Amino acid sequence: MSEAAADHGHHTPAFYVKIWVILLMLLGVSLAGPEIGIQWVTLLTAFGIAVVKAYLVAKNFMHLNLERRYVVYLLLTAVAFMFLFYAGTSPDIMNHVGRNWTNVAAQAEVERATEALNHEVPHGADHGAEPASAEGAEHH
Amino acid sequence: MAQPETPETEPHSEHTGDDHGHDDHHEQSFVSKYILSTDHKMIAMQYMFTGMIMALIGGFMVYAFRTQLAYPGISVPGYGTVSAGEYNALVTNHGTIMIFWVAMPVLIAAFGNYLIPLMLGCDDMVFPRLNRLSYQIFLLSAIVLVVSFFVPGGGFGGAWTAYPPLSAKAEYSLTPLGSTLWLVAVALEFVAFLIGGINFVTTAMNSRAPGMKMFDMPIVIWMIVIASILFMASVGPLIAGAVMLFFDQNVGTAFFDPDRGGDPMLWQHLFWFFGHPEVYVVLLPACGITAEILTVFSRKKMFAYKTVINTALGTGILSFFVWAHHQFISGIDPRMANVFTITTVIISIPIAEMMFVYVATLYGGSITFSTPMLWALSFVVEFLLGGVTGLFLGASGADIYFHDTYFVLAHFHYTFVPIAILGTFAGITFWFPKMFGRMMSDKWGKIHFWGTVIPFNLIFIPLFMLGAAGQHRRIYSYENFPELAVPALQDLRILATNSLYVMLAFQVIFLINFFYSAFKGKKASKNPWDSNTLEWTAASPPPHGNFPGAMPNVYRGPYEYSHPDREDDFWPQDEPA
Amino acid sequence: MKPIATTRSATGIPTGKLAVWWLIASEIVIFGGLLGSYIMHRLGHPEFGGYASHTNTVAGAINTFVLLTSSLTAVLAHHAAEQKDGEKAFKYLWFTIAGAATFVIVKSFEWHHEIEQGYTVTANMFWSFYYCAAGLHGLHVIAGAIMMAIVSFRARAGKELQQVELVGLYWHFVDLVWIFLFPLLYIAK
Ligand code: HEM
Ligand SMILES: [Cu+2]
């Protein structure tokens, strides 16, 4: 089986299993990251590792390394358009103040929600028993 | 010459099991021939006739609400009095229908389905059953939209852009069912065009006739393919937005509700990130149709073929960078308004260049003013006016005044009408002989042409003037606006509306010419316009499989007209050297 | 019968595969728009961190494990199909479908628990995005499972073996989306 696979330039089952093991180890790291409790480490282990995992899956399972180059460019272009969308849209949505403007409603919501979280009551008409945990409010 | 069949192509391979075997029967019943056909030409016809029916509905709507504007309060013959709520629903659905159920199905789906396999020398699209599915979803979407007019509360009236909070809350829109059905219809239509688009792009990339390189494809195919790609790349965020809006409408989420942490601006971005590329989605196929016709009837090689394609690609990419010019006064960050002003000014360069290239193709040609040629020429002329007025609007300073006035409305009708009406008639009159095997009447075609183009200008030039005078869009009656209710302005409204009646009346001539010619017209030869591209080497109309016997091979580009070494002034792509 | 058009391949990429790449590209922008919108709100609203602390990281991690594993079985099915071993491809596809089923079951327990606690789709913006994004992804999981089931029977009969790779590609994409959803919804708190 494996010699025929090598003919196609594809990989062997053992190779796929190896990639899978690496992916699981990465999953472990991304779960361990937040335990350290430093925010930038969490972000790095969460999103840095997501990118690495995505790369491994795309390259080895989807065989993008063996595919024609322009397929890779096509997919990257789609991703790039999403960054473009983000770049054009986030100044209005993410920020709540800008030059000569203020998003009063959003500011009020942040204030209200922060207040509510500090009082450990989840927001919403139908909120249930479990109160918001105290660490939740730590970040800001 | 036939393409060698690969082993996978054994007849009756895997399909018969799960497919009810429709495409395998040769003596076909009415249903399998006209309704469940997977033949690309039949699907093209389905798209075209559905589009025509929707155009009649959209045309009836504009008749009703324009009458209300010119003669406020009158009982519109055939409709009755138009209430304020109905007015909103009519305007909204007129716009939605004309863009999503007329321009797109006819220009992209009908011409794309008809022309791509024929012009590339294939027997069908690469995925015929997916193609049929695409049409069926499209038909369903059209039905949902039409049903939405008749549900309690009436059709959606929150404008084709569906800005929240008006579109998100039934308390505001007063159309609890209408707005959801409208949204579902639009979303289904997107799905149909995504499926269709993948089919188009894959066919063009993979299934060209042997010998046909990328740059041997006719421009119209390029344009339809680029348009499909633009659509696929831009519609995603709006599909996500439609899901969010649906939740806001029906589940009670607050994605677009500022009171509960949402942001209505987000919808505007999601919408226009799609909305601006969308205008190029419909523009490019019309440019492609025009390019074919201009070369054939000036008997000249297309001037700068590759430049046209590169321009289209460049415009396509640029069209992703301008979307927020629709939001200059919605409260976007002023710094972003600067950026989008600059990109908007830049995008007019390639489009202007493309029009110049078209004019250069005409220069020195031996021009025949046939009906299709008149439509194509009028497209170039009228579209220029639309494009130029876009620049006024793209300057964010000027747009503070112009935004949401009839100036904007006239601007985009000077682009959409050339695209969806002039461009479509150009295409229909040009390929009619191929589609139906008969010629349309040239005389009546010309009468229809002048009867459409002159009133078109008489409708929208007054609207430019009204917009410049400060008349806002989406207002049911100007009687309550003292400075706008003056007779001088009302006269312009009446002129526009009366011209509309004339234009609508002339469409009857088209319909008669179309149906009469389809059954009784003069028989058309294979290649009545002495054209080079492959569809003209098939019979008129082409049989199932398009090129029975031998599939064509291609030896040259599509625009070798009046070649100095040849006696004939055309040189079909499939003729061996 | 397949048209001649379907069997041509001017790009060198088989037609079906080319179509799947375009499908994935158009899916990227759908999820991209949704996740982009979420991230904007997430960064503009510090309170989301508090809301997110109630998501169940263990359930998310189990599902990540399940999807990564099902991606492995999907690629093994592809491998088997390349060896023209339809039986084996069938088997591996059904392992993958079992992964999809596990994913959905874990999700439904997770959601059930959350809804019971009052974290419904309307509780606040975070939860709205949470259900919307995970729900859209879940629909893709279900759709992928159905397609794999259809293809698996063809593969077992030795027909259309190339389709095993195509559903596999789609499945890896579904996995990829989850790889990003997991940190976005569960880890970054
Ligand atoms: C391809 C042909 C074009 C089409 C089909 C088109 C279509 C449209 C549509 C439908 C709108 C109005 C949307 C609404 O508010 O309901 C619009 C507005 C606008 N168009 Fe175009 N347009 C085209 C070309 C251009 C060009 C070439 C430019 C500039 C260089 C341009 C600049 C604008 C601007 C700035 C607005 C916003 C105006 C406002 O709302 O205040 N357009 N266009
Ligand atoms: Cu625009």
pLDDT bucket at B196, cuts 50 / 70 / 90: very high
Query: In sequence order, what DSSP letters do the residues of B213-224 get, joined into one string?
Result: -GGGS-HHHHHH
Q: Give percent of chain C above pLDDT 90.
A: 89
Residue A120, pLDDT score: 61
Average the pLDDT over each of A9-23, B394-408, C53-67 and give the range with the smallest value: A9-23
Domain-embedded: residue B358: no
- Residue B122, classed as helix, strand or coil, is coil
Domain-embedded: residue C21: no
Distance CA B126, CA B546 (A): 14
Within 10 angstroms of residue A9's Cβ, the number of other Cβ atoms is 9
If you average pLDDT over residues B410-424, what whole number do you get?
97
Is the pLDDT at C50 greater than 70? The verdict is: yes
C76 in contact with chain A, both atoms CB, cutoff 8 A: yes
Ligand 1 center to B416 CA (angstroms): 10
User: Residue B162: left if φ>0, alpha if ψ -120 to 50, beta else—which one?
Assistant: left
If you average pLDDT over residues B352-357, what whole number do you get?
93
Domain-embedded: residue C67: yes
Tell me the residue type at B133. L
CA torsion, ordered B403, B404, B405, B409, to nearest 10 deg: 110
Residue A43, pLDDT score: 86
Which of B167, B231, B321, B325 to mutate for ligand 1's pocket (most ligand atoms within 8 Å of CB)?
Answer: B325
Q: Which two tokens stand for residue B440?
A: 């349309």
Domain-embedded: residue B27: no
**Half-sphere CA count of C68, side-chain side, radius 13 A:** 27
Tell me the residue type at C131. Y
Within 10 angstroms of residue B69's Cβ, the number of other Cβ atoms is 19
For residue B246, give the nearest of B301, B177, B194 by alpha carbon. B177
Cβ-nearest to C19 among B8, B202, B241: B202
Distance CA B491, CA B495 (A): 6
B152-167 pLDDT, tens digit per residue, is: 999 999 999 999 999 9
Residue C3, pLDDT score: 87
If you average pLDDT over residues C9-20, what whole number do you get?
93
Query: Using the beta-carbon criterion (under 8 Å), do C28 and A10 form an inter-chain contact?
Result: no
Distance CA B317, CA B340 (A): 14
The residue range of the domain holding B515 is 370-436+440-521
Residue B27, pLDDT score: 62
User: Residue B228: left if φ>0, alpha if ψ -120 to 50, beta else—which one?
Assistant: alpha
Asked if A2 contacts A15 with a C-beta cutoff of 8 angstroms, the reply is no
Is the pLDDT at B3 greater than 80? The verdict is: no
Instruction: Give, for B338, the enclosing helix (H) or strand (E).
Output: helix B334-362
Cβ neighbours of residue B522 closer than 8 Å, sequence gap 6 or more: B438, B439
- Please report the sign of the dihedral spanned by the C-alpha atoms of residue B312, residue B317, residue B319, residue B325: negative
Residue B550, pLDDT score: 87
Domain-embedded: residue C62: yes
Please report how the helices A13-36 and A49-56 are oriented relative to each other, as an axis angle in degrees rounded to 10.
170
Is the pLDDT at B5 greater than 90? The verdict is: no
Which chain C residues are closer than 8 Å to B534 by Cβ?
Answer: none
Number of structural domains (chain C) is 1
Please report how the helices B371-394 and B424-436 are oriented relative to each other, as an axis angle in degrees rounded to 10.
150
Give, in degrees to the nearest 5, the angle at Cα B73 between B71 and B78: 80
Residue B134, pLDDT score: 97
Length of chain A: 140
Residue C187, pLDDT score: 87
Distance CA B46, CA B31 (A): 13
Distance CA B62, CA C53 (A): 53
pLDDT bucket at B310, cuts 50 / 70 / 90: very high
B521-561 pLDDT, tens digit per residue, is: 999 999 999 999 999 999 999 998 999 888 999 999 999 99
Domain-embedded: residue C22: no
Distance CA A28, CA B72 (A): 70
Domain-embedded: residue B486: yes
Number of structural domains (chain B) is 1
Domain-embedded: residue C31: no
Average the pLDDT over each of A2-16, B396-410, C29-43 and give the range with the smallest value: A2-16
Which chain B residues are closer than 8 Å to A85 by Cβ?
Answer: 237, 269, 273
Nearest CA to ligand 1 atom 5: B279
Query: In sequence order, what DSSP letters do the residues of B459-504 get, joined into one string?
Result: HHHHHHHHHHTTPBSS-S-GGG-TTTSSHHHHHHHHHHHHHHHHHH
Is the pLDDT at B33 greater than 70? The verdict is: yes
Residue of B nearest to A109 (CA): B261
Residue B41, pLDDT score: 96
Give, in degrees to the nearest 5, the angle at Cα B313 between B307 and B314: 85
If you average pLDDT over residues A68-79, what whole number do you get?
94
Is the pLDDT at B562 greater than 70? The verdict is: yes
What's chain A's Rg over C-alpha atoms?
22
Q: What is the pTM of this model?
A: 0.92
B451-493 pLDDT, tens digit per residue, is: 999 999 999 999 999 999 999 999 999 998 999 999 999 999 9
Residue B36, pLDDT score: 86
Is the pLDDT at B366 greater than 60? The verdict is: yes
A104 vs chain C: nearest CA distance in angstroms?
13
If you average pLDDT over residues B291-303, what whole number do you get?
95
B198 in contact with chain C, both atoms CB, cutoff 8 A: yes
Name the residue ranges covered by the structural domains of chain A: 3-118
Mean pLDDT of all residues belonging to chain B: 92
Domain-embedded: residue C102: yes
Nearest CA to ligand 1 atom 17: B412
Nearest CA to ligand 1 atom 35: B394
B261 in contact with chain C, both atoms CB, cutoff 8 A: yes
Whose atoms come closest to the Cα of B411: which ligand? 1
Q: Which two tokens stand for residue B33?
A: 């021939």
Residue A34, pLDDT score: 84
Residue B331, pLDDT score: 86
C23-47 pLDDT, tens digit per residue, is: 999 999 999 999 999 999 999 999 9
- Residue B75, classed as helix, strand or coil, is strand
Ligand 2 center to B412 CA (angstroms): 9
Which of B408, B414, B471 to mutate for ligand 1's pocket (most ligand atoms within 8 Å of CB)?
Answer: B408
Q: Looking up tokens 């010309």, which residue turns up?
A: B446
Query: Using the beta-carbon criterion (under 8 Å), do C53 and A75 form an inter-chain contact?
Result: no
> What b/e readout covers A31-48, taking b as 16+ CB neighbours within 10 angstroms?
bebbeeeeeeebeebbbb
Query: Using the beta-carbon criterion (under 8 Å), do C57 and A17 form an inter-chain contact?
Result: no
Is the pLDDT at A4 greater than 80? The verdict is: no
- Residue C137, classed as helix, strand or coil, is helix
Distance CA C119, CA C126 (A): 10
Distance CA A41, CA A39 (A): 5
Ligand 1 atom with the shortest distance to the CA of B387: 27
Within 10 angstroms of residue B73's Cβ, the number of other Cβ atoms is 9
Q: Which two tokens stand for residue B222?
A: 């390029």
* ipTM of the complex in this document: 0.95
Distance CA A70, CA C123 (A): 44
Query: Using the beta-carbon criterion (under 8 Å), do B258 and A105 form an inter-chain contact?
Result: yes
CA distances from residue B487 to A113, B68, B463, B470 in whole angstroms, order as listed? 55, 16, 15, 15
A119 versus C58: which is more confidently predicted? C58
Which chain A residues are closer than 8 Å to C33 by Cβ?
Answer: 82, 85
Distance CA A15, CA C79 (A): 11
Using CB atoms and an 8 Å cut-off, which of residues 52-91 of chain A contact chain C?
53-54, 57-58, 60-62, 67-68, 71, 74-75, 77-79, 81-82, 85-86, 89-90
Is the pLDDT at B8 greater than 60? The verdict is: no
Cβ-nearest to C43 among A20, A94, A117: A94
Query: Using the beta-carbon criterion (under 8 Å), do A122 and C11 form an inter-chain contact?
Result: no
Domain-embedded: residue B557: no
Domain-embedded: residue C28: no
Domain-embedded: residue B534: no
Is the pLDDT at A9 greater than 90? The verdict is: no
Is the pLDDT at B577 greater than 90? The verdict is: no
Is the pLDDT at B211 greater than 90? The verdict is: yes
The residue range of the domain holding C118 is 38-187
Ligand 1 center to B356 CA (angstroms): 21
CA distances from residue C121 to B180, B188, B252, B302, C131 in whole angstroms, order as listed? 19, 24, 8, 57, 6
Using CB atoms and an 8 Å cut-off, which of residues 27-46 of chain A contact chain C?
27, 30-31, 33-34, 42-43, 45-46
Is the pLDDT at C127 greater than 90? The verdict is: yes
Query: Using the beta-carbon criterion (under 8 Å), do C79 and A5 form an inter-chain contact?
Result: yes
The domain that holds C100 is classified in CATH as 1.20.120.80
Distance CA A73, CA A52 (A): 18
Domain-embedded: residue C58: yes
Domain-embedded: residue B32: no
Residues framing ligand 1 (Cβ under 6 A)? B 161, 279-280, 283, 325-326, 344, 347-348, 351, 387, 390-391, 393-394, 399, 402-403, 408, 411-412, 415-416
Is the pLDDT at B10 greater than 60? The verdict is: no
